[in-house]
Amino acid sequence: MTGPTPGPASAVSAFDTDAMLADLAELVTCESFSADLAAVARSAEVVAAQGARLLGAQPRRIVLDGVTHLQWTFGTPRVLLVGHHDTVWPMGSLTTHPWSVRDGIARGPGCFDMKAGLVQIFHALASLDSLDGIGVLITGDEEVGSTSSRGLIEDAARGCAAAFVLEASADGGALKTARKGGSQYELVVHGKAAHAGLEPEKGINAAIEAAHLVLALGGLADVVDDGAAGDWRTTVTPTVVRAGAVSNTVPPHAAVTVDVRVPTRKAQDRVDELIRALPTTVPGARVEVLGGPNRPPLEDASSRALFELAGLTAASLGLPPLRSAAVGGASDGNFTAGIGCPTLDGLGAVGGGAHADHEHVIVAELAPRAALLAGLIDAVRR
């Protein structure tokens, strides 16, 4: 991997913003709610056609568990570009949140997270002299945990010198150089039913055991030495608690759902050990631990060299200095980093409002971001 060759700022103006905006409109107006597999399949065809037009090659269509993913491979990839075409917006959201462009701001469901990133991928690649050494993977289930695509992502990243994730940028256009990892657990408590009025002593109260678990979970983060401070520390959060079915019976079952966010793999492993070692308090109760680590953290060490390279590339293009951000949310970049592939995230749209009513993209930033991506790809391939 070498630094970029200095180039004129005209490299940015070579991108046709109007064409990029038209392609973004095409993607946004094809709704792709993650839970609607037919809609995701229709979206995949629109994305595939757009990519084929700009790249001159059809993608491989991969359907796993009913979810449609797209993959382009040119030669032996050294660079992997990662994105997703599913969104959190339910079908019909275009009625209440229609596609629009006013005063340099594009709006519409999924425009920021992350259909603009897909447009930037295709236009950046179309600007290159050669696509040799590049892989592109666009998944259809990122917003629901990448349950079917994780293996695809990890396999595609193995052996690559860099993975560039076209998720939307952080505030102000900052690149995402670190993401917390995530774990999800369900602690299922097995007790014993008994009549709450006549003989409660013959029951094993799963609700009481669940209450003790909630209190114990609330203190776990304090004993995890993650080396972080403030908002970047490990969090262990009980989120859903269920117990009992009728008012006059000792509950024989209960369940506690737990959300865990961690800055390091070491902290993720430590929390897993602690949760699995939680003692029972109610005599006779049994706790079954389901789930575990889902996404490994994207640690700063994985992105540091690529962020420095991005800064050099931006300077060569006459772009403003880049900023970095560490964010709590996860992406498919967690998976590429987790298998040891250097990863830089947040290279997609500049704007805001992901998953919210004010979701938007700053139109003037589409071309500079595409130029930055193109420059980064060439710098890594040299």
CB-CB neighbours of 361 under 10 Å: 31
Question: Is 357 part of the annotated catalytic residue set?
Answer: no
CB 34 within 8 A of CB 88: yes
The catalytically annotated residue of 23, 31, 86, 365 is: 86
Q: Is 372 left (phi over 0), alpha (psi -120 to 50) or beta?
A: alpha
Amino acid at residue number 24: L
Distance CA 139, CA 59 (A): 12
Question: Is 103 part of the annotated catalytic residue set?
Answer: no
Distance CA 141, CA 36 (A): 10
Distance CA 189, CA 242 (A): 10
Q: Residue 86: what are its φ and ψ, rounded to 5°?
A: -80, 160
Distance CA 348, CA 116 (A): 7
Q: CA 348 → CA 82, 111, 166, 213, 223, distances in Å?
A: 10, 11, 4, 41, 37
Longest dimension (CA), the chain: 85
Q: CA 44 → CA 39, 67, 122, distances in Å?
A: 9, 10, 14
The catalytically annotated residue of 31, 142, 143, 272 is: 142
Residues involved in catalysis: 86, 142
